Amino acid sequence: MNVYDFTVKAQDGSDVSLSQYRGKTLLIVNTATGCGFTPQYGDLQDLYNEHQKDGLEILDFPCNQFGEQAPGSDEEIHSFCTGRYGITFPQFAKIDVFGENQIPLYKWLEENSKFEGFSGFMGKIVSVAAKKNDKDYKNNSKVKWNFTKFLIDKNGNLVARFEPTTKMSEVKKQVEAIL
């Protein structure tokens, strides 16, 4: 099984097969518009501007499960992201990344990656929040917070996971290594 086996929902509710991204390098990210990490939208757009021509696609999945930091409708979230950060990469319908309504894509991402911990000053803050959601957060692969990123190679295989506290320079370095 790989990423191309999944179908997700577009903002308009229509089905989108991820097989349409076959042969592309993907960075899949769960996002929120009211999070301390929201400025990463700007970094993601910069990365997309630089490497879309090289086959990079960033797939944005808004999620309201962490601190209720993406409360708007799909249209409101998209308007915010395009207006404030000028995003042009694909943004999908709001999803659940955990719980009974977790989408199958995120179940697969979790099952095929490991949580390696948070880093830096923000890591200490996020650790407190993550522990409120999951007392055993350090010992499982569940997504812990907004702006967790998953790097998928051109063959549809998951090759790296980045927590929201990972510096975007490290994300960029690993993206460039597989492009």
* Contact by Cβ (8 Å): 58, 18: no
* Contact by Cβ (8 Å): 9, 57: no
Q: 69 phi and psi, to 5 degrees?
A: -95, 10
Please give the Cα distance from 73 to 128 (Å, whole number).
28
Q: Which residues pair with 15 in a beta bridge?
A: 9
Q: Residue 108 is encoded by which pair of tokens?
A: 């697969």
Q: 76 phi and psi, to 5 degrees?
A: -65, -40
Q: If 0-12 CB within 10 Å is exposed, 13-18 middle and 19+ buried, where does residue 175 land? A: buried
* Contact by Cβ (8 Å): 151, 26: yes
Identify whether 63 is a catalytic site residue.
no
Choice among 3, 16, 28, 35 that is catalytic? 35
Catalogue the active-site residues.
35
